[in-house]
Structure 1
Amino acid sequence: MPADAAAHIRIARPARDLRVAERFWVSGLGLDVLYRHAADGTPGQSSLVMVGWPDAGWHLELVHDPTAPMEPRPTPEDLLVVYLGEPVPDALVEQLERHGGKRVPAHNPYWDTWGVTLQDPDGYLLVLSTRAWSNS
C-alpha cells in the first residue's frame, strides 16, 4: 500500500523518565495509553509507552532505553500542535502545568497570537491552538 491519507503516523521521542512523560501527556492533556512495553535489560531494547486518542490517525511514542539513555534534544521548532478550534481553556493549561508542563513564550510569535505553548518534561513543545485546521 502506498503512503496516503489513510496511513497512520507515529511520532517517536526519547524521554528521560517514562512515568513523568506519561503523566504530562495522559493525566495532563488527556491522551490514552494505547500500548506499553517494558525493556527486559537486553542492550538496545527500549521501554516505551504509546499515547494518543483511540480513533486518531497518529500516536506519540515515548521511548527510554535504560541501558543507554538518550538525552532529548528538542529545538524551538519541534512542535506538536493540537488545533482546538476554540479558545484554550485555562483549566487545561493549569492541568498541564500541574502534571509537569511549563507555559513558555513561543519561538515564533504566531503561536502566541493563536494559542498557548507549553514545554513538556523533556523540553518538547506542545501548542494548543485556538485555530481549526483541515488538510482539504
Structure 2
Amino acid sequence: MPADATAHLRIARPSLDLAAAERFWVSGLGLDVLYRHTTDGVPGEHSLLMVGWPTAAWHLELVHDPAAPVQPRPTAEDLLVVYLGEPVSDALVERLERHGGKRVPAHNPYWDTWGVTVQDPDGYLLVLSTRSWSNA
C-alpha cells in the first residue's frame, strides 16, 4: 500500500532531558503521553517519550540515548506549528514558560504576525499560530 493521507506521521527528535521535555509538552502544551520506554540501564537501548493527542494522525517522539546522548541541533526554521484558529491566550504562553519554555522572537517575522514562538527545553521551536489550516 502506498503512503497516502491516512498514514500516521511521527516526528522524532533527540532530547537531553526527557523529564523536562515531558513537563513542556504535556504539562505546558497539554499533549498526552502516548508511550514511554526507559532503558532501566540496558546497554544499547534508548529511552523515549511519545506525546500527542490520542485522535491526531501524528505524534512527537523524543529520544534519549543515555550511553551516547545526541545533542539537539535545531535551526531557526525547525518549527512545529500548531494552528489554533484563534488568538493565543496569555495563559497558555505563561503555562509553557512555567514548564520550561521560553518565548522568543521568530526568525521569520511572519510567525510573529500570526502567532507566538516558544522554545522548548531542547531548543526546538513551537509556533502557536492564530491562523487555521486545511490541506483541502
Instruction: Write the distance in 2 (CA, Å) between the matches of 1:67 and 1:103.
Output: 31
Instruction: Write the distance in 2 (CA, Å) between the matches of 1:7 and 1:83.
Output: 20
**Structure 1 residue matching 2:35: 3-state secondary structure:** strand
Contact 1:41 1:67 in 2 (8 A): no
CA positional deviation for 1:6: 0.2
TM-score, with structure 1 as normaliser: 0.98
CA positional deviation for 1:41: 3.1
Letter in 2 for 1:75: T
Structure 1 residues 41-71: Cα deviation after superposition (integer angstroms, max 9, x where no partner): 3443110010000000000001000011111
**Structure 2 residue matching 1:92: 3-state secondary structure:** helix
The percent of aligned pairs where both chains have the same amino acid is: 83
Instruction: Write the distance in 2 (CA, Å) between the matches of 1:45 and 1:76.
Output: 30
Structure 1 residues 3-58: Cα deviation after superposition (integer angstroms, max 9, x where no partner): 00000000000001100001000000000000000114344311001000000000
Instruction: Write the distance in 2 (CA, Å) between the matches of 1:23 and 1:68.
Output: 23
Give the aligned partner of residue 68 of structure 2.
68
Give the aligned partner of residue 12 of structure 1.
12
Give the aligned partner of residue 134 of structure 1.
134
The structure 1 segments of at least 4 consecutive aligned residues displaced by more than 2 Å after TM superposition are 40-44
Give the aligned partner of residue 51 of structure 2.
51
TM-score, with structure 2 as normaliser: 0.98
Structure 1 residues 55-92: Cα deviation after superposition (integer angstroms, max 9, x where no partner): 00000001000011111000000000000000001100
Give the aligned partner of residue 28 of structure 1.
28
- What is the alpha-carbon root mean square deviation over aligned residues? 0.7
Give the aligned partner of residue 107 of structure 2.
107
Contact 1:34 1:50 in 2 (8 A): yes
**Structure 1 residue matching 2:56: 3-state secondary structure:** coil
What is the correspondence of 1:112-131 to structure 2 with a 5 Å cutoff? 112-131=112-131
For this pair of structures, how many residues does the alignment match?
A: 136
Give the aligned partner of residue 89 of structure 1.
89
Contact 1:80 1:126 in 2 (8 A): yes
Instruction: Write the distance in 1 (CA, Å) between the matches of 2:80 and 2:45.
Output: 26
Structure 2 unaligned segments of length 5 or more: list them. none
